[in-house]
Amino acid sequence: MDRVPIRVLVVDDSVVIRKVLSSTFAEDPELEVVGTASDGRIALAKIPVLNPDLVTLDVEMPVMDGLETLAALRKLYPKLPVIMFSTLTERGAGATLDALSLGASDYVTKPSNSGSFDVAVAIIHRELIPKIKALCGRAKRLTLPPPVPPMKRRIPSNRRVEIVAIGTSTGGPNALTELLPRIPEDFPVPIVVVQHMPPVFTRLLAERLASRSAIPVKEGSAGATLLPGHAWIAPGNFHMKVIRAGVEWRLSLNQAAPENSCRPAVDVLFRSVAAAYGPNVLGVVMTGMGSDGVLGSRDIRDAGGEVIIQDEDSSVVWGMPGLVHASGLDDAVYPLEQLAAEITRRVQHRRAPGFGFGLKSYAPLEPPVK
């Protein structure tokens, strides 16, 4: 039986963009454009009539812009998925981060006016359509990347954690805004993060996280020395690795081929921390679409480290953490609201006086979800 198409409302002040989106979506039998709107006021009037499953929303529009529209839409339709379609500029990136904080489900960077029609269509096929399907529960079922047979569950090693490595994608900016501000000022180890985002976006995200957090948060830079109680976000379009340099650990950036269609890639970062820190790694895989982080989680586990993941209910898309879980590579699953406390506990608990003497097992503060 054929599935009912996903009903999409396209909101953009550009006639060209509306036509490109409508014609491209029409080629996919799983999508149906039920209407278009040139500004937010028109869009809000059409939603109760058209009953869309998802809205694509421009940022800069006359009469009622994307942020105003989103704020009003969220009051009326708190669960309706919204994907921002913004320009790859500093202004566009800032507005997109504002939109995510207001409740946008995800974003896609809009091709510039100078881009060709073919480039625009390629971006829609590669980035926008998969996100629409994922947010509406139609994501293509991913198989475990070979060779990743399910791994048997194990008893945690109780080794000291010397670095925390976090990987996230769709829903990640808001999840990181929930997590990093809850990390205490005296956190004793460095934190390294891959959030799938393009250039400019990652710098602004780091700045926003820094303004809300007790610990310093910066965009990663080549050669930066890792310090306790500091966090680094991988810069857009660069893989970020951790390397040993004498008695120090430093960041290394490169533009090698994308992995899992991503640069930065979680697998690259996780692989590097496993090589640099061995069993003293805590990996954290949070909300995100796709399979990035599965192979890297195996590297961490093979080195003797541990991996915890965000649960399905609190994830915008349970792709990345879900596949880690399906592979048996996670040591525990926690809702977003508990992740910061659990990360902090695992790091600090193992530094407590007398730890390791007479302790029979590792007992979580909150029972993990399995």
C-beta of residue 285 within 8 angstroms of C-beta of residue 324: yes
C-beta of residue 57 within 8 angstroms of C-beta of residue 46: no
Number of H helices, E strands in the chain: 12, 14
Alpha-carbon distance of 276 to 242, in angstroms, equals 7
C-beta of residue 185 within 8 angstroms of C-beta of residue 229: yes
C-beta of residue 200 within 8 angstroms of C-beta of residue 168: no
- Which amino acid belongs to residue 311? D
Q: What does DSSP say about strands 248-254 and 239-245: parallel, antiparallel, or unpaired?
A: antiparallel
- Which amino acid belongs to residue 171? G
Q: What is the residue-wise DSSP string for 189-223?
A: S-EEEEE---TTHHHHHHHHHHHH-SS-EEE--TT
Alpha-carbon distance of 168 to 289, in angstroms, equals 9
Alpha-carbon distance of 200 to 99, in angstroms, equals 16
Alpha-carbon distance of 52 to 5, in angstroms, equals 11
Using alpha carbons only, how large is the chain's radius of gyration in Å? Answer: 21
Alpha-carbon distance of 107 to 83, in angstroms, equals 5
Residue 274 is encoded by which pair of tokens?
């496993």
Rama region for 299: left / alpha / beta (φ>0; ψ in -120 to 50; rest): alpha
Which are the catalytic amino acids?
Answer: 169, 196, 292
Alpha-carbon distance of 173 to 308, in angstroms, equals 18
